[in-house]
Every structure is written in C-alpha cells, then in structure tokens.
Amino acid sequence: MRPPPPWAGRRLGTEPGDGDALSDGFQVVGKALPRLDALGKVTGATRYADDLSWPGTLACVLLRSPHPHARIVAVDTAAAAATKGVVAVLTGADLPVRYGAIATSQDEAALASDKVRYVGEPVVAVAAVDEVTAREATKKIAVDYEVLAPVSSIEQALLAPADEPIHEGTKGNIHRLAALEFGDVDEGFAVADVVREDVFFYEGSNHLAMEEHSATAIFADGQLTLWSSTQAPHNLHRVLAKVLDLPMTRVRVVATPHGGGFGGKVDPAAHEVVVSKLAVLTGRPVKCTLSREEVFYNHRGRHPALMWVRTGAARDGQITAMHFRVALDGGALASLGAATTYYTGALQPATYDIPAYRFEACRVFTNKAPCGPKRGHGTPQPRFALEIHLDKLAEDLGMDPVALRRCNYVRPQSRTVNWLRITSCGIEEVTEKVLAASGFATRSRRVGHGQGFAVSAYLCGAGFPMYPSQLPHSEVGLKVDRGGVTVFCGATDIGQGSDTVLATVVAEELGLDRADVRVVTADTGLTPVDLGSYSSRVTFMAGNAAIDAARKIRTLLLEEAARTSGLLAHELRVGDGRFGPLSFEQAVEAAEERHGALSASGSYAPPPGISGEFRGSAVGPGPAYTYSAAVVDLDADPTTGEVLVHKVWVAHDIGRLLNPVLVRGQMDGNVYMALAEALMESQTYRKDLLHHPSVLEYKTPLATDMPAIEHLYVETIDPEGPYGAKEVGQGPFLPVVPAVVSAIHDALGVWVDEVPVTPEKILRALDARDRGALGRAGPKRFPAVPFPPCIKVEPPHAATARV
C-alpha cells in the first residue's frame, strides 16, 4: 500500500501557529462574533439563486408525472414545441446518460424515458421566453401512459412484485441488503440476564429549507456555467460533465448563497441537468426554480424506517449483545441510499460499548418521491429506537435509565466493536452538564408533566468520499499580497457559516481581523476542490486545509519579521495586524520582495486507519466524533394527547468553540428540526399522492411553538480538529427526538414507539392501557426480510482497541 500523503489526517496543533511564536492565546477563535454574511441575510441584500437573472434568460418548466408507476408509451411534444415563445423542448431521449450522487448508484435520468416511478418525476422540459409561456406549453404535451400497480409501503415492496419491479435488475423491489456481525452475538445473548426486543417506526420528512431549489445555466465560449443552490458543487460538476459529455475543463458550477440545505441539495437534481442541457442547446441562459410542491417531489429527505432491536444485558446493566434490524422505505431512486442503509447501523457502538453487535438492514424501492440524506443522515431513526429501547431495558432491569447508559458509555481513545476510532469523547461531560442544568434527577412529578433524557454520537465528516479516490477531501488556496488576503475554497456555505469559519481560521493564523480576509468559495471554476457541505465535514476538513495553507504564509511572514528584527520566531508576537516589529503589510511586502508572488495551498483528508476492512466499513468512520445529550421538559395532556414542550437543554461536545454565535445557531436549528420530526413532520402519501404538498398542510413548528433552549458546551479539544474543533451541524439533533418521546412516557406512563408523536397516537396508547393492554402505540412487528448471512467481522483485540 502507498504511504498516506502528508495531508491525510495531519495534526496542525490546537493553537494558532502551533506555538511557533509568542502567543496571548486566540485573537479571533472562540469570540462570539456575528457571521460575516449576517447583514446581507437580514436586510435582503443577499442574492440567492432565484435572484439571479441575465438578459434573455429562458424560463424552464418541467412537466411531471401524475402517476406513481407507469410505462411511458408515447410522448407528443409537437404542439408545445410549435407554441409561440417556446425555444426548446426536451424529453428523456435527449438526456440518455444516467447519473447519481454516489458512484455505485447511477440510476437517475433527468427526464424519464421508459417509465415513471413516482408522482412528480420530471418527464418533459420546456424552455420558453417566460414562465407563463413555458407553463402553458406544458399543457399541450400529450404523454401516453400505461399505468402499472404502484408499490406503496415497505411491506408491499418486500412481497414478490405484483407487476414488474420498479427498477430492472433488482431482486424484487429490494434496493440494498446489508448484514454484518461483530463478535459473537449469540454468545452475548446466551450470557445475558435480561433480553428485550422492541419495534419502532420513524416517519419520513422533507428538509423544508426555506429556499426552494433554483438553477440557471449559461453556455458561452464553449464553457458551461451553472449557478445553483447546491450543497455539493464539485459532485454536480462531475455529474454535468458526465451527462452532457463535456470535459471537466468545460464545466463550472457556482453554488449560490443558500436559504438552507439540510441535505436536500446534495444530490444532483433533474432541473440542474435540464437547464444545463437547454443552455448548451439554445445558447441562451436558462433558469428553473422549483415550487414548494416540486421540492417535495425532488425530496431526498428522511427515510421512513421500521426498526427492530434486541439487547441483552447483565443484571448490573452491562450490555452483552445487541441485534439491530432496519427496513428503509427508499422511495423510487437510489440517491445516497446505499450509504443511508449502513448509517442506520454504524453509530450505535459509537455511544455504547457493545461487545457483540449484529446489524441487518434493507432498503426497498417504492413508488414515492426518492428519499436521501437529511440532517443526521440515517442516524436519527436508529438513535430514537435505541434510546427508547434502553429506557425500556432500564425499566426491565429496575435500573435508572441514565445509570444504565453510563455504565455502557464508550471511552475516549478507544476502538468500537465495528472498528470506529474514537479519539476525543465528551459523552460523560455532556451527560453531567445536561443533568445538572435541567435538574433531571429531582424533576417535579405530576401527571401530565415529564422530562426525558437521551445521548448520541455523530461523525465530523465522512471518512470516505462519494466516489472512490485517494485525493484530498478539501483543498484551500490562499493569495496574499499588497492587495490583501483572499482564501479560496470549494466549500459551500449553506447557512451554517462555513465562510465565516474559513475567514476566522485564516485571520487567526495571520494575526488579522476577520474582515481583512476575503472569502471566495463554492465555485468550481475558481476554487480548489472541496467535496461539499454534507456529513458535518466542512469545519473539520476545510478548516484544517485552511489552517494548513495559512500556516505556510504565516511561516514566511514570521521569517521576514525575524530577519528584520534579529530575533527568533519564537520571540515574536503575532496578532493585531502585526508580525513582531513589522506590520502585516510590511511583512507581506518583504516576503513578496524576496519570494515573488505569495500563495499557499492547504489540503485535508481523513487519516488512514479510522475504519475496519469489510464491506460496508466505509460508512460510519469519521476523523472524530461529537457527543450530545439532551433533556426535554414538556406537558402532555391526557385528555387531548396534545404536547407542549417547555424547555430543551442540549449539551454538546463541540471539541472547541470556534465561535459561540455559530454554534448556538446550529444548536437552535437542530432542536427545532428534531422537535419537528418528533411531533409533526411527515412526508406521507394518500391515494399514492403526497398528503401534504404545501407548507400550510405540511406542519412544522412555528417560531411561536419553539420552547426555551439552554445551550451547554463541552470542549474536549480534539487532537485532529481545526484548533481542536469538531462539528455541530447535526450532532445536537439526535438526542432530542428520543428525549421528547421519553418525556411523554415520563408524563403519562405510556410509550409511543413511533414518531412523529401525534395527539391521536398518545390517546391510542392511553386507551390501550385503560383497556388493560400494554400502554403503547407503535408498529406491531418487523416484516420478514430475506437478509443474507452476516459477514462476520472480528472485533478489534483488546490491545488494538486502545488508540
């Protein structure tokens, strides 16, 4: 094997300059400062994708399928094409090349040609002088469909297909099967004093970013440029080159400022491919902005998940074995579903030290809008199941649920049964903090009032890219000269503040103010590659690459300052715009005089050895893990089943607080989104059509529904994170959903093993209890899935388990 490149997991130290000069500690890092783009966002000055327009821009409208499953017999676009003002009409035949977000799942066509697989699937695209003309023209298109029986549920997808399967070449309608076993699970159950089994269901939901997707393409001078609200411009760049058969050198993707992503803008989307093709064909700018309903069809949101979990434990609470099964409703396409499937099993052992673990997963195709990655990607569902299951196990053992968890917590610097490498780990500290702040142990006891507690883990960026490669995951360029400092990076600020983070770390290394650093990001024509804004990777990976680049310039400038002053670099102070005796500008001029043009690059890839070596081992490992704990306080009305959340305490192991303002914002967003999934959001179907295709019908909590939030930070200073920082984009989401359900149990004594918890489900559980049955609402059974035999993986030995 080739030795890993120097940038793979390189440790850049946890203080500015890694202690290369005199330091008063951090100058910018750790300060509560507003985001650099805050003013533009709140004044409306920010130009989002839909705000862009060029003279002569054509409007693109997509005609979508009204059927969940049908063969396309014929498409007649003649009348539409002949309409005055229509410039081009595309059908599936014009875009035959298939694509997909990940290399192993290339099953998407921008426009359906053989058949349609979900309501809302794009079939024909019309480009016209304006939107009204384009939309009117779509009404003149005749598509002749032969309707096929739709597959509407996980259970139905597991049966032998009544009609033809949704996709050719799959076993029935099963997309993926995975079965892994680490250690001897049967033995673990055999020695357990208590064994418990539970079944759970987690409903699907949309990302509901405020900004609907929008894209505009221009083809000029042999170059295609696409401006789009995409989270992963680099991946889209690759997809467009492939589908349009253009060299990478002829395609440029610019990610515009985002009104939210949450995973909904990671997959290459049909409209992005279509406007690009139309721009090439017509030579005119072409734009397409999705309506809210179209966003629900494009979807790629949370997978509905049926789960079964069985755990064995000794009397004292030590877990001896766990067996986890999941069946995911993937909707009509693969999307990132192969990764989602493995994610549902990967992180259970990252919170609890499970000595023997079996994981079986299945993802099915159904005739619904495709599911994909949404905040927490594949982990909120099992986290909900696992935490509630442990609450129940604690009840069986007659143990305090917090104590049960604590005696199984993973330790820092350890290796999990599935080979994940844990480095910094604040699971004990977050537990301590959240319990102390909420007074969980001494909470008031009255009917209808309850508190719930849960913990979780998440990764700081996927350890492996979406396509196999040994290349850096993040690259940064830095230009420094008389004219100032500009940092270039492919990372996309989707609202999480990553541009601000880049400016922060470069300013810190160069002793400047953040405002002195220009940031150019997310433009594949200008900026070095970054894989995209997903899996909580940007601060960790792009942050490290930016420090790497800035450190090189810092070293040059320190040399000049040392030379001028006759002092050693270690005797100089960097900060407040100075390098020892020189101002920053003087130091730059001196360096420029000596070296010519100054520029530096930085790179980052996760280190080797963070995963095991088995099929599926690429999903789950990250260069570090964050830990979160939450306590939720609520009232649940036994008469109506309504729930009112009063307060949420979240403690998060952030590694290091680079900027408390940004961290707090992410924690608020996580709490909101978790409450939404716990209590309201559901992307469900009725008569095979979306039940709630508008934001009035699709319920999500309003500002007036938000409870008080108390933010608690734990700094574990990760050895490999940028200055020790980890992630906060997704981790704090995870414990909130189970904490809500646990609090409802605390309030009313019944279990709702299914989210969202609706008033009706609570009453159903109460009714069951009143009838003398189990006080529970939730799925009855886990379906029969033809899982293959488990791949048996030897867990790390005790010796290798310490890292």
What are the residues binding other proteins (CB under 8 A)? 64, 66-67, 119, 131-132, 212, 289, 291, 293, 635, 637, 639-644, 680, 687, 689-694, 696-697, 699, 701-702, 704-705, 758-760, 763
Inter-residue long-range contacts of 643-647, CB under 8 Å, 24+ positions, other chains counted: 643/679, 643/740, 643/744, 643/757, 643/759, 643/762, 645/675, 645/679, 645/707, 645/740, 646/707, 646/708, 647/438, 647/707, 647/708, 647/709, 647/710
CA distance 98 to 239: 9
Structure tokens at 163: 């009609």
Q: Output the smallest distance, CB 691 to other proteins, in A.
A: 8
- Would you say how long the chain is, in residues? 803
CA distance 168 to 555: 58
Name which of 631 and 763 has its Cβ closer to other proteins.
763
Q: Output the smallest distance, CB 642 to other proteins, in A.
A: 5
Name the maximum alpha-carbon separation found in the chain: 87
Name which of 219 and 698 has its Cβ closer to other proteins.
698
3-state secondary structure of 494: coil
Name which of 635 and 715 has its Cβ closer to other proteins.
635
Q: Output the smallest distance, CB 177 to other proteins, in A.
A: 32
CA distance 242 to 437: 53
Residue 465's identity, in one-letter code, is P
Pairing relationship of beta strands 708-714 and 643-653 according to DSSP bridges: parallel
Q: Output the smallest distance, CB 273 to other proteins, in A.
A: 21
Q: Output the smallest distance, CB 16 to other proteins, in A.
A: 46
Cα-flanking dihedrals φ and ψ of residue 408, to 5°? -115, 5
Structure tokens at 615: 């099929």
Name which of 555 and 700 has its Cβ closer to other proteins.
700
Q: Output the smallest distance, CB 156 to other proteins, in A.
A: 20
Q: Output the smallest distance, CB 634 to other proteins, in A.
A: 10
DSSP codes joined into one string, 609-653: TSS-SSTTTTSS--S-EEEEEEEEEEEE-TTT--EEEEEEEEEEE
Name which of 287 and 656 has its Cβ closer to other proteins.
287
CA distance 243 to 277: 9
Name which of 223 and 694 has its Cβ closer to other proteins.
694
Q: Output the smallest distance, CB 782 to other proteins, in A.
A: 24
CA distance 631 to 742: 9
Distances (CA, A) of 557 to 117, 316, 482, 599: 59, 59, 13, 12
Name which of 188 and 641 has its Cβ closer to other proteins.
641
Name which of 160 and 702 has its Cβ closer to other proteins.
702
CA distance 202 to 383: 10
Name which of 67 and 176 has its Cβ closer to other proteins.
67
Q: Output the smallest distance, CB 166 to other proteins, in A.
A: 18
Using the 8-state DSSP alphabet, how is residue 317 labeled?
Answer: S
Name which of 144 and 760 has its Cβ closer to other proteins.
760
3-state secondary structure of 110: coil
Residue 385's Cβ-side half-sphere holds a number of Cα atoms within 13 Å equal to 32
SS3 for 767-779, per residue? HHHHCCCCCEECC
Q: Cis before residue 257, ω within 30 degrees of 0?
A: no
Distances (CA, A) of 467 to 103, 106, 234, 239, 345: 5, 11, 11, 12, 21
Name which of 33 and 766 has its Cβ closer to other proteins.
766
Q: Output the smallest distance, CB 391 to other proteins, in A.
A: 24
Q: Output the smallest distance, CB 262 to other proteins, in A.
A: 20
DSSP codes joined into one string, 164-207: S-SSTTSBTTEEEEEEEEES-HHHHHHT-SEEEEEEEEE--B--
Helix (H) or strand (E) holding 401: helix 401-406
CA distance 383 to 682: 18
Residue 232's Cβ-side half-sphere holds a number of Cα atoms within 13 Å equal to 28
Q: Output the smallest distance, CB 768 to other proteins, in A.
A: 15
Q: Output the smallest distance, CB 646 to other proteins, in A.
A: 11
3-state secondary structure of 288: strand
Beta strands in 671-799 (DSSP E): 685-686, 689-690, 708-714, 751-752, 754-755, 776-777, 791-793
Name which of 4 and 638 has its Cβ closer to other proteins.
638
Q: Output the smallest distance, CB 212 to other proteins, in A.
A: 8
Name which of 427 and 680 has its Cβ closer to other proteins.
680
Place of tokens 């014929």: 74
Name which of 592 and 642 has its Cβ closer to other proteins.
642
Q: Output the smallest distance, CB 704 to other proteins, in A.
A: 4
Name which of 64 and 238 has its Cβ closer to other proteins.
64
Name which of 396 and 642 has its Cβ closer to other proteins.
642
Place of tokens 């500008």: 585
Q: What angle do CA 677, 678, 679 make, to 5 degrees?
A: 95
Name which of 290 and 502 has its Cβ closer to other proteins.
290
Q: Output the smallest distance, CB 760 to other proteins, in A.
A: 4
Name which of 42 and 147 has its Cβ closer to other proteins.
147
Q: Output the smallest distance, CB 708 to other proteins, in A.
A: 15
Question: What is the gyration radius of the CA atoms in the chain, in angstroms?
Answer: 27
CA distance 388 to 738: 6
Among residues 116, 66, 68, the alpha carbon closest in space to that of 91 is found at 116
Q: Output the smallest distance, CB 131 to other proteins, in A.
A: 7
